[in-house]
Structure 1
Amino acid sequence: MSKLNILIVEDHALTRFGLRTAFEDSSSNICIYEAENAQKGLNILGKENIDIVIMDLGLPDIDGIEATKIIKTKYPSKKVIILSSHEKEEDVMKALNAGANSYCTKDVEPERLLEIVNSVSKGAAWFDPKVAQFVLNAASSGNNESLQITNQTKTTESNLTARERQVLTLISDGFTNNEIAQKLDVSINTTKAHVCNILQKLGVQDRTQAAIKALKDKII
């Protein structure tokens, strides 16, 4: 198995050290690169085969949102995880519109962050439960100005059956499993099975992440 190359772009040396230590202690299959500002991070991206960028928002030269836009323009295949101390809706929406694959807060447990990195590396879109509702609210309200879903190849859509896409649409609309079962005139166990299959196929861990993945990849 090839190593997963992770670039940490963070201006605080202590935070970089903590992240590096957490990753290196948890897996020998990870190679860590570090940059204290966005420009150095971009320089590393131009030289090294980086898989995932962990990006701080408050950088001293270019802020994390603008840096993410540059990365997604120059290196569209690179995955970007925003790691921020902020839980503001404005920051979350800007990150999503910039093309970020994930947004998590800095109080995330190291083990959880490793899980997020692994999920994102496989194509999942992951947003911290504290902020994920912002994305769903914007989508359900039809506010296209604040929610500009980036164009991505719909690699997962063909793996979902027509019924699973129907269930996924209802999940994104906020319906519970019981309500979905009633709408589709199926048993609750059948609905739960569909939801389980959807989560597995999309590579996500819960219904909220499934809805966000569906919106980002334009599956629904």
Structure 2
Amino acid sequence: MPISLSLLFKAALLCPLAWLSIAIAHSAGMVPQTPVLVVEEGVGEAVMNVRNTDLHPALLHSSVENVEQDDEILLLVTPPLARVEAGSIQQVRFILQNPRSLQVERLKRVVFEGIAPAADSSGARVSLGIRQNLPVILRPAGLAVEREPWKRLSWSTTPGGLQVFNPSPYVVRLAKAFVPLPGSDMANLPRTYILPGERLNIALPLSTSVRTMSVRIYPATTYGFSVEHFDAPVTR
């Protein structure tokens, strides 16, 4: 049976007050050290430092979420719940628990959320900080570092638009919007990542009246940094 946020907070902070209701408020809250977590299979674990930027102590709740295309549970997070003093840093460990060796990179999400007493004299409210939802890349042991995985994507035309195929073992992350060339009108990918072995079909704008010769994409590195646009050729 799930435990309510108020009970979790009361137990962790040893607060004697009666928690009668929960109200949601927003604050700066918990700020992770980096925008992406990379877990190397050869190491078996990774850590993320999270700072409490608020002016009061709070609970840091950490959890791992699967993406829709990959629901296998591969990461254990510890501690899932910890008290963090104002301005202090909490180290969160992510332990890889794969039943078999990774063959390609895998994508997960990690969520950090702060839970703190709200500014209420009755003490009957809690405040939930801004949720930080970050990508997690699980990297197979022995896989060479690829700094430009988006260059491995294969683009081709379809009767309804375009198809992009990722034949590589790398997760490719990029902006959802791209430009079919020649032209200047934007089109959109279904999402901002393409998993190894995936094919995504993309509808083109009705204004695209000539055959697309190439696409201009806006990729991101493994660690989440945007780079200069890249023009990839499109085959028939």
Fold shared by both chains (TM-score > 0.5): no
Higher strand share: 2
TM-score per shorter chain, which class?
under 0.3
Q: Which has the greater radius of gyration?
A: 2
Query: Which structure exhibits the higher relative contact order, with contacts defined as CA atoms closer than 8 Å and separated by 6 or more residues?
Result: 2
TM-score (norm 1): 0.26
TM-score (norm 2): 0.25
